[in-house]
Structure 1
């Protein structure tokens, strides 16, 4: 979903994106680690890595490896949305993903709280609105769990939710 050419950002825009990244890496992820632990994470990651290419589970494992991130129990359901919906793990795409999910019916505190950072990025508001509407046009995935869909092919999941039609 992210564009190939990144616009030149001014100092404020760079700072706003750093705040978004900091909120995720220094606040949300540590909370999930503390709440759910990481004991089973390596076993689950090994399983996901063993799945065939093109499956959701393998896509999540590859995405985490590409971004040098660890699998965090109860957070993998967020990671699956990156893979199914095609959003990168940049600050901009995190906000687009949250806008999509809000349109898709996710009114959770986590979604609303993270999307509140959009106030720092007014240049993204028109794009976030488009992603919100895209989420409204797509069948709900807010309750999807990686354990249920790991062996499914990503292209088929996208068809199932109507993503190609919504794009």
Structure 2
């Protein structure tokens, strides 16, 4: 009996490394980014204008990370994200994000403008790799440190660390 239980525990421990976590993927200009689903406070579709957000009497800062990372982009040629065989629509939205250390309160919120509808993605830890130096030198931000490699139905997704993003904004501290 001990032999089978140790084999079972070895098999189960090997499965723990490949567990998938849910992320919300969204497009910022030319690239796709992702956030853990736990850090998403709310998603608002945008029609014609960007709303002013207030929670608990204070304004929530709204960032155009696409503009910060890429500047003005003329080309409409961007990689497409496919979820269950369907291409994610290019409808703008506003993602209200909270830091992982602020999961129970409304402080530490920031709005991120997105060029697409958000899409849920299941990604395992072994699908993520450290951000290559070429990206970190080009973007000059410290809140993106991991990425996924592109696959047949998914372009590279760049992981945004919500705590680092929020700590880099003076109004959110």
Q: TM-score, normalised by structure 2?
A: 0.27
- Name the structure where strand makes up a greater proportion of residues: 2
Q: TM-score, normalised by structure 1?
A: 0.28
